[in-house]
């Protein structure tokens, strides 16, 4: 599926290294159109990282340290969980079962609503069933088609189309219904 594509895996990583936070934030922003607040100051992050006792901590152990800090817990409880699903892929999009030295990848996680997933495919299935995903995809696609950001009225019409679509509608049908909006079929809403 989409979350297993190499291009998706290459986007929020640093070289060959993966980053649970960046990957989770990418899912939030790109697939759900949600923004997280900015991180705390660097000195607060350094304090959290100094509490990690292992020499080579896993991404989950690092996440647990972040979540133990009240200033970090709220955002990382969401971002990190989504990022774990993508850890089954390395920074080049190749599937992997371990990080190295026999340390197994743990790609299980939970959505904020408590639904569990085992991997990227499970996360994709759960996300695809949400109204937020349908609305976000419609908005992203609509913006791409226009070649510019939509104004409030255009964005509202596209969101209404996505919201009105049945939950089981396929992505292709959803996107087709977006293209049938007047903003794409008439010149009156086009900005210079």
What pLDDT, on the 0 to 100 scale, is given for residue 172?
Answer: 82
Structure tokens at 11: 């986007």
Strand partners, 117: 109
pLDDT classification of 187: cutoffs 50, 70, 90: low
Please indicate, yes or no, whether the overall pTM of this predicted structure exceeds 0.95: no
What pLDDT, on the 0 to 100 scale, is given for residue 1?
Answer: 63
Q: With 50 as the cut, is the pLDDT of residue 192 above it?
A: no
Determine if residue 57 is left, alpha or beta; phi over 0 gives left, psi from -120 to 50 gives alpha, anything else beta.
Answer: beta
Which residue matches tokens 């509202």?
Answer: 156
Mean pLDDT confidence for 99-114: 89
Task: Provide, rounded to the nearest whole percent, the portion of the chain with pLDDT above 70.
Answer: 82
pLDDT classification of 120: cutoffs 50, 70, 90: very high
Number of CB atoms found within 10 A of residue 74's CB: 12
Mean pLDDT confidence for 37-58: 72
């Amino acid at each position: 599926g989409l979350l297993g594509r190499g291009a998706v895996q290459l986007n929020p990583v640093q070289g060959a290294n993966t980053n649970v936070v960046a990957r989770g934030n990418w899912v939030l922003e790109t697939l759900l159109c949600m923004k997280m607040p900015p991180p705390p100051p660097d000195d607060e992050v350094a304090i959290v990282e100094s509490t990690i006792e292992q020499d080579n901590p896993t991404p989950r152990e690092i996440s647990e340290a972040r979540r133990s800090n009240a200033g970090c817990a709220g955002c990382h409880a969401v971002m990190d969980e989504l990022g774990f699903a993508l850890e089954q892929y390395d920074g080049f999009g190749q599937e992997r079962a371990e990080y190295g030295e026999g340390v197994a990848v743990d790609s299980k996680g939970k959505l904020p609503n408590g639904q569990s997933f085992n991997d990227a495919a499970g996360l994709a299935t759960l996300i695809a069933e949400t109204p937020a995903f349908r609305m976000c995809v419609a908005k992203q696609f609509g913006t791409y088609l226009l070649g510019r950001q939509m104004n409030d009225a255009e964005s509202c019409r596209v969101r209404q189309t996505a919201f009105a679509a049945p939950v089981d509608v396929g992505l292709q049908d959803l996107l087709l219904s977006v293209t049938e909006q007047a903003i794409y079929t008439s010149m009156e809403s086009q900005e210079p």
